[in-house]
């Protein structure tokens, strides 16, 4: 390992989130990428899976557990329930991009994901740096938030104490459904189309409800683009607040957060955040019914997955939070 660099690995490196991690970690000045585990592409080049990748020599691996345990940190970009079978065997720090370590209460996980949680001993930090930075700094295991949950929580957290009911209307690019063929990521269905799905029972609703005290309604949609996520939040206010006060609440809440951009005079768009780790928040309009509308946008593959994971790694190892991300 090179001096002053940490050794990092990825298990599940060939999916969309894994590929974004490869690109981010490869350019990170304090990381040496040592393992890119993929059962599907083991010993094949990354370029064989992703034609736009510039390094023609870097290969996927199938490193055994004893080699993974020599690393400083491993990112798990694996299906739900797989991480909980691996984490108890891992000696290094872990950032799980799936849902296995997102819930404080394993019973909620079991209800939402219809699977038994087999690792109730591990204490993980929820990996939203804007909410749990100190816990992330001290933990061994981080449960990286879901993409919809990230955008929704960042929109709601500053204002939630003034709200009785919050409605999240979210739209995401089809990459959020992963590489496995599903109805929502099939070009036959999403082309020139918007697909609403899981109107009232999406898994991320329970994730959001852990940290929002108001009543939560949430409906996701898939839109015909690859990356980007927009959350339009409708919050029923329980007291009168003018636009200036609301903007100040958001600016003060996020004044120390390097990846939050408060847009006072512009409604955020996907072009503001694609291929970045930023979350843009704006709109801040209150209608005649005392309903606040706020828009948050993120790149679902970066701030909604791999970029946030690298941000968490930076915090865990005492690096500058922005390292490798700006």
Do 114 and 177 belong together in one domain?
no
Say if residue 89 is in the same domain as residue 190: no
Same domain, yes or no, for 40 and 28?
yes
User: How many domains does the structure of the chain reveal?
Assistant: 2
96/159 same-domain check: no
Residues catalogued as catalytic: 147
| pLDDT tens-digit map of 248-298 | 999 999 999 999 999 999 999 999 999 999 999 999 999 999 999 999 999
**Domain shared by 139 and 221, yes or no:** no
What string of H, E and C letters represents the secondary structure of 162-180? HEEEEEEEEEEEHHHHCCC
Query: Is the same domain home to 135 and 257?
Result: no
Task: Tell me, yes or no, whether 153 and 140 share the same domain.
Answer: no
Q: What is the pLDDT of residues 180-239, one digit of tens each?
A: 777 777 888 888 999 999 899 899 999 999 999 999 999 999 999 999 999 999 999 999
Q: Are residues 153 and 296 in the same domain?
A: yes
Write the CATH number for 48.
3.40.50.720
Strands 125-126 and 195-196: unpaired
Domain that holds residue 229: 148-300
Same domain, 134 and 239: no
Give pTM, 2 decimals: 0.95
What pLDDT is stored for residue 188 in this prediction? 83
Claim to verify: residue 123 and residue 164 sit in the same structural domain: no
DSSP string, 168-227: EEEEEEGGGG-SS--GGG-HHHHTT--EE--TTT-HHHHHHHTT--SEEEEEEEEESSSS
Q: How far apart are CA 165 and CA 101, in angstroms?
A: 27
pLDDT tens digit sequence for 31-88? 999 999 999 999 999 999 999 998 989 999 999 999 999 999 999 999 999 999 999 9
């Amino acid at each position: 390992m090179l001096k002053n660099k940490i050794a990092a690995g990825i298990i599940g490196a060939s999916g969309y989130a894994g590929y974004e991690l490869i690109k981010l970690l490869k350019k990170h000045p304090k990381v040496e990428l040592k393992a890119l585990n993929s059962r599907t592409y083991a010993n094949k080049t990354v370029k064989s899976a992703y034609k736009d990748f510039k390094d023609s020599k870097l290969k996927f691996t199938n490193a055994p557990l004893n080699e993974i345990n020599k690393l400083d940190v491993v990112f798990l970009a694996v299906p739900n329930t797989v991480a909980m079978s691996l984490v108890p065997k891992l000696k290094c720090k872990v950032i799980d991009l799936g849902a296995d370590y997102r819930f404080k209460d394993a019973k909620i996980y079991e209800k939402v994901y219809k699977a038994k949680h087999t690792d109730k001993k591990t204490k993980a930090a929820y990996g939203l740096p804007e909410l749990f930075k100190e816990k992330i700094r001290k933990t061994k295991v981080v449960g990286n938030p879901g993409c919809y949950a990230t955008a929704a929580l960042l929109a709601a957290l500053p204002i939630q104490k003034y709200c009785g009911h919050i409605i999240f209307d979210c739209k995401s690019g089809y990459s959020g459904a992963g590489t496995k063929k599903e109805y929502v990521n099939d070009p036959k269905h999403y082309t020139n189309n918007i697909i609403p799905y899981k109107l009232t029972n999406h898994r991320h609703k329970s994730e959001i409800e852990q940290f929002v005290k108001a009543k939560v309604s949430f409906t996701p949609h898939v839109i015909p683009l690859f990356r980007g996520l927009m959350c339009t939040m409708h919050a029923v206010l329980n007291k009168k607040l003018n636009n200036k006060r609301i903007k100040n609440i958001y600016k003060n809440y996020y004044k120390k957060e390097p990846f939050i951009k408060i847009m006072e005079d512009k409604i955020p768009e996907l072009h503001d955040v694609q291929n970045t780790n930023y979350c843009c928040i704006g709109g801040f309009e209150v209608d005649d019914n005392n309903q606040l509308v706020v828009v948050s946008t993120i790149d679902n593959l970066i701030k909604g997955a791999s970029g946030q994971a690298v941000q968490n790694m930076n915090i865990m190892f005492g690096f500058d939070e922005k390292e490798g991300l700006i």
